[in-house]
Amino acid sequence: MKKLLITGSSGLIGSEVVRYFGFEQGYQVHGIDNNQRAVFFGIQGDTRWNQERLVAEVPHFRHHEIDIRDRAGILALVKELRPDVIVHTAAQPSHDRAAAIPFDDFDTNAVGTMNLLEAARQFCPEAPFVHMSTNKVYGDAPNLIKMKELETRYDYDDPIYEHGIAEHFTIDQSKHSLFGASKVAADVMVQEYGRYFDMPTCCLRGGCLTGPNHSGVELHGFLSYLVKCNLEGKEYKIYGYQGKQVRDNIHSLDVALFMAAFIKVPRVAEVYNLGGGKENSTSILEAFKMTEALTGKKQIFTYVEQNRLGDHICYYSDLRKMRAHYPTWDITQSLEETMKQIVRAWRGRSG
């Protein structure tokens, strides 16, 4: 039985990978997670419920309580397991939170990734290494694209970006947030291990990753947190851009499906902009309307004039490279269906 090692196994993407590869692909799955979300975001970010669900439901799943910053612990585990695949999703995921905990942010995102890469090089260099990066590696450079303001959203007003942001877009000379910078360091190192040591690595520069198993909080988890606020009658804060800022959203299942496609036919040092594309994009104002239609509840919100530092006015991913390299893969979960699942999930947890 093939072995897959997944970091951040109790998180949104990690738990989806555990379930998909455990059930659908027949892997023995080893998960690394120490519930750092609860440390970063407090009790509302706790993911123990997800860990317990995975242990109970997924055959051949084993949980490992290790911090990816623990170099000796990571090296020892990878040496013991010698996995056939490594999927790295663990991170400090908030660009707002990073400024308050810069050492924790960099040690988790950059050094933790380095620990895993070196463990892979030493003990399983032929194992596909899939790294969950972020579109924040582009900093605020997408804001320099000519924009047009529409009634409920911003959009690109340059035909070059008709399909969104492609992988050759610059990551340099822009404001990233400290989180974005630590993820750049990890992203480039994953590419370098691929090129320098000829290892099958890829960076997936995610847009808004979402789905029903997200423990959304204010500083991380756009749609999940928005729905949670709506259902609980809590205030949602819009930070700048009149609420017209746009994000593309991709369901965690479609992320896992792309990972499976890459693992089946891996490439060396590849980069992909993994998002929902223009079809699955939404502004905050549009997301309010969708949520209200699904829940029957009015969204309570306030507006803060100052936008978040390094925040994108409009971002959606150009999926053409992904579709060209892996033509059997495509988006399977629409934005509307994803929203329905998130609403059901929050109602189920509160019930």
The two tokens of residue 210 are: 């979402």
pTM metric for this prediction: 0.95
The predicted-structure confidence for 257-310, as pLDDT tens digits, reads as follows 999 999 999 999 999 999 999 999 999 999 999 999 999 999 999 999 999 877
Q: Which domains does the chain have, with CATH numbers?
A: 3-150+162-214+250-281+313-333 (3.40.50.720)
Mean pLDDT (whole number) for 334-351: 91
Indicate the pLDDT class of residue 134, thresholds 50, 70 and 90: very high
User: What integer pLDDT is reported at residue 219 of this predicted model?
Assistant: 66
pLDDT at 313 over 90: yes
The predicted-structure confidence for 135-185, as pLDDT tens digits, reads as follows 999 999 999 999 999 999 999 999 999 999 999 999 999 999 999 999 999
Please spell the DSSP secondary structure of 99-164, one letter per residue.
GGSHHHHHIIIIIHHHHHHHHHHHH-TTS-EEEEEEGGGGTTGGGGS-EEE-SS-EEE-SGGGTT-
Strand ranges for 152-245 from DSSP E: 154-156, 201-206, 208-210, 236-239
User: What integer pLDDT is reported at residue 118 of this predicted model?
Assistant: 98
Q: Tell me if 341 sits within 8 A of 209, measured CB to CB.
A: no
The predicted-structure confidence for 50-80, as pLDDT tens digits, reads as follows 999 999 999 999 999 999 999 999 999 999 9
Element (H, E) at 185: helix 177-197
The predicted-structure confidence for 79-129, as pLDDT tens digits, reads as follows 999 999 999 999 998 878 899 999 999 999 999 999 999 999 999 999 999
User: What integer pLDDT is reported at residue 350 of this predicted model?
Assistant: 66
pLDDT at 351 over 60: no
Mean pLDDT (whole number) for 34-59: 86
The predicted-structure confidence for 201-221, as pLDDT tens digits, reads as follows 999 999 899 999 887 777 677
Mean pLDDT (whole number) for 329-348: 96
Mean pLDDT (whole number) for 9-22: 96
- Quickly list H helices, 205-334: 222-232, 252-264, 284-295, 320-325
User: What integer pLDDT is reported at residue 296 of this predicted model?
Assistant: 98
Cα(39)–Cα(108) distance, integer angstroms? 13
Cα(2)–Cα(270) distance, integer angstroms? 23
Indicate the pLDDT class of residue 37, thresholds 50, 70 and 90: confident
Indicate the pLDDT class of residue 349, thresholds 50, 70 and 90: confident
Element (H, E) at 78: helix 71-81
pLDDT at 44 over 90: no
Q: What are the φ/ψ torsions at residue 283 (nearest 5 degrees)?
A: -90, 170
The predicted-structure confidence for 282-293, as pLDDT tens digits, reads as follows 999 999 999 999
Q: Tell me if 223 sits within 8 A of 249, measured CB to CB.
A: yes
